[in-house]
Structure 1
Amino acid sequence: MPVFADVDTGVDDAMALVYLLASSDANLVGIASTGGNVDVDQVCRNNLGLLELCGATAIPVSRGADQPLSAAMRTAEDTHGPAGLGYAELPLHQRELTGYDSAEAWVRAAHAMPGELIGLVTGPLTNLALAVRDEPNLPSLLRRLVIMGGSFDYRGNTTPVSEWNISVDPEAAAEVFDAWGRAADAKVIQQHQLPIVCGLNLTENIMLTPTLLSRLAAASGATTTAMSVLDSRGTRSTADNTLIRTLEDAMRFYFEFHFDQGEGFLAHLHDPLAAAVALDPSLVQTRAATVDVELTGTLTRGMTIADWSHRWGRESNAHVGVGVDPAAFFDRFIERVGPFARRLQADR
C-alpha cells in the first residue's frame, strides 16, 4: 500500500517511520517535513538521517512551511531532545530535499496514485491544510487519511484540553476537518475516506516500557542491557544492533521526560499507533462524528470537539478512535521492527 507520511520527526515519529519501513505491506512513497517537535529544518535532517540509517535513501523528503498558518511557532525540545531524537545520533548523509515543498509533495503523490494513496499525519496539519488549499479535491483523491491528533473526552497534553499537534496549528487542523466535512456534504467521498483520528484518549494506552524494548531487541537478535529507572540520566545503549541502539538512545530521553512528568519510566507511542492504523484500520475501534477545533476560546483554544449527538446537524467528517488493544499493537510492532533491524544489521 502506498503511504505518504507527514511528520515533525521527534522520537515517536521516528518509531512510526521505522514501523512503515519494516512493514512488507507498506510502500513509503514520500515524507513531508513539518515543524513541531523541533524546527522544520531539524525535522528534515532527522528524516534524511533516519532513511540513511534504514537503507531507504530513495524515498523523497520535502521541506514544509516555516510557521503555522497564523500562530507563532512552538517546538518541544524538552520532550524530544535538542535535535528531536533524544540521545540518538543519526548517520551522516549526502541526500538532498526535493525541489518542491511539502504541500506540493502531498498533491503530487495524490495525483500519481488517485484512490490508492494512504495519507498519514503525525505532526501539525499545516502542510496538509496548504495542500488542500492548492488542491481542493485532495479528500477524494486519497484512499484514506490517518491523523494523530486531538483528544476526545480526555485531557490534553499541552493545555488542559488540547493535544500538541493540534495546538501548534489549530487553524490548519480546523481547515483540514472542514475540507473533509465539505467533501462529505457534497457526497464526493465515501465513509472509508473520512480521516481516522487517533487522539490522546487512544494513543496514551500505547505505553512502551523497558520490558517491551527488551522484547524488541530480542526479536532483532541484538544483545543489549535492559534500561532501568535507576540508570544514570543519558546512559547510552549497549546494543550491538545499530537500529536498536538508535531507538534505545532515542527512547531513553522520552522515558526520562515521561518519568519527570509523573507518568512512570515509560513512553506513549502516539505516532507508531497511527502508522499501524494507516495500514490496518481494524487495529482500533472508531465512532463516526463531526469534529471541529476551537480557535478563539481563552482557555480552550486547540481543543478538539466531537459532536457525538449530531447537535450541529452536520455530516460526520471523521472516524474518531475510541478503543485499542495495546498488546495486539505491540505484538505487531515487535514482529515487524525486530526482524527488520536484524536484516539491516546483516547487510552492514
Structure 2
Amino acid sequence: MGGVTAADAVIPVFADVDTGVDDAMALAYLFASADARVVGIASTAGNVPVDQVCANNLGLLELCGTSEIPVSKGSQRPLAIPLRTAEDTHGPEGIGYAQLPVGGGTLTDYDAAQAWVRAAREYPGELVGLAVGPLTNLALALRLEPALPRLLRRLVIMGGAFGYRGNTTPVAEWNVNVDPEAAAEVFSVWGAAWGLEPPAHLPIVLGLNLTENAVMTPSTLSRLAAAANSSTTPMSVLDDRGTRSAAANPLIRVLEDAMRFYFEFHFDQGEGYIAHLHDPLAAAVALDPDLVRYRQATVDVELTGTLTRGMTVPDWTGHWGRHLNARVGIDVDPGVFFERFIARVGPFAATLA
C-alpha cells in the first residue's frame, strides 16, 4: 500500500494559446486529463486577433464546465512587426464552423505576461508551461521575470521546423513566423538562464517535423465520438462544404465542426482530407515527455534573411560555441498519442452530455 508518488501528482499547467482549432483540442485534452490542472490560460494573438482568442477561450471553458480557470489577454501584436492571422486555416472566428457558447467568465485584470509570472511564482518548481502559439507573451514575461526558466518544472513549445519544410514560408513554421523576434528572444534568454545545467531543464521544442506525424482523420474522429457514447455521422470528403456535425454530445459537436473546416483546408492544400494535431500533441507531451524522443541543440531564429526570415536553425554539434537551449522532438508514435487522446477526451466529453 503506497501513497501518492511525485509521478502520480496532479501537474499544474499554464497554457499560452492562440485558439485556433488545434489549440481548442489541446485545451480539451488538458481539461480531460486527471493528471493535469490548468491554472491559467494566456491568450495570444496569432491564428486570430487576441480579442477573438479571449472569446474562444472563455467560450470553451463555459462549454467544458471549467469557467473558474483564469484567462488573461496578451499583446495585440507581435514585438516588432504587424500581426498576421490565419482565418483561412482556422475559420473567421478561429474555430472553423463551430459555435461556442458565450463565456460567462471575465478576463483577469492583469495581462498574459504577468499571468505567466504569477503562475510560476505560485507553483515554483512545479509549473509546466505550454506555449502553442506565437511566443510574444512568453518573451514579455521573461522581460518581467528573467528567473522564469528556473521557476518552471518544464516548458513545452510547439513551433519551428527542424530539417523540414515550413508551413508559412518554404522554411518557416506559423507560430515562429508570426513573431520571430519573440521566438529568438525566448531561445536566447533560456540558453543564458540555464547555461550548462542538466538537459532536463531545457525547453522541449516540437516542430513540424514531429507534429505533422499526428494526423487526424475522419475515422479517428468517429472513434472519439464513440468513446464519448455520442451518436454522429462520419465525415467524408464527399460531404457538402460546411456540413454541420450531427453529434449528440456538445463537445464532440464543437470539435467535429471545428475539424471539418481544418480538414477542408488541408484538402485544398493538397494534403488529403486530414488535419495535423500540432497543439494536442504538445499538450500530451507537456504531461508526459516520454511520448517523444529528443535531440539536444542550440536553436536560434533567422531574423534578417531575405528568403529565410523566421526559420528555426538548430546547431546540433556546437559550431556556435553557445549553451544548449532546446530538446528538439525528433520521433513520436502517433498511434500511442491518439489512443491516449481518445481515452481521455472521449469519456470527458461524455460527462458534458
Q: Same fold (TM over 0.5)?
A: yes
Q: Quick one: which of 189, 214, 218 aligns to 1:179? A: 189
Q: 1:66 aligns with which of 55, 73, 76?
A: 76
Give the unaligned 5+ runs of structure 1: none
Out of 16, 23, 28, which is 1:13 matched to?
A: 23
Q: How many residues align?
A: 343
Rounded Cα–Cα distance in structure 1 between residues aligned with 2:104 and 2:258: 23
CA distance in 1, matches of 2:292, 2:122: 29
- Within the alignment, does 1:22 sit opposite 2:29 as a pair? no
**Aligned residue in 1 for 2:230:** 222
Give the alignment's TM-score, normalised by structure 2: 0.96
The aligned residue for residue 56 of structure 1 is 66
Match of residue 82, structure 1, among 92, 95, 106: 92
Identity in percent: 72
- Structure 1 residues 39-97: Cα deviation after superposition (integer angstroms, max 9, x where no partner): 00000000000000000010000000011000110000000000000000001232110
Q: Which residue of structure 2 lines up, in the alignment, with residue 213 of structure 1?
A: 221
The one-letter code matched in structure 2 to 1:255 is F
Residue of structure 1 equivalent to 2:315: 307
What is the CA–CA distance in structure 2 between the aligned matches of 1:92 and 1:278, rounded to whole Å?
A: 28
Aligned equivalent of 1:114, options 124, 143, 147: 124
Q: After superposition, what is the alpha-carbon deviation per residue over 1:215-269, rounded to whole angstroms, capped at 9, x for unaligned?
A: 0000000000000000000000000011000000000000000000000000000
SS of the aligned residue for 1:139 comes to helix
1:284 aligns with: 292
Instruction: Note the residue ranges of structure 2 that are not aligned, 5 or more in a row.
Output: 1-10
The counterpart of 1:339, out of the listed 327, 347, 353, is 347
Regions of 4+ moved over 4 Å? none
Q: Deviations over 1:114-159 (max 9, x none)?
A: 1000000000000000000010000000001000000000000000
Partner residue in 1 for 2:153: 143
Match of 1:191 in 2: 199
Q: TM-score, normalised by structure 1?
A: 0.98
2:258 & 2:201 partners in 1: Cα distance?
34
1:202 is matched with: 210
SS of the equivalent of 1:344 reads coil
Give distance in 2, aligned partners of 1:93 and 1:133.
Answer: 31
Match of 1:322 in 2: 330
Aligned-pair CA distance for 1:190: 3.5
Q: Whole-Å Cα distance in 2 between the matches of residues 74 and 42 of structure 1? A: 14
Partner of 2:275: 267
The letter for the 2-side match of 1:30 is: G
1:105 is aligned to 2:115: yes
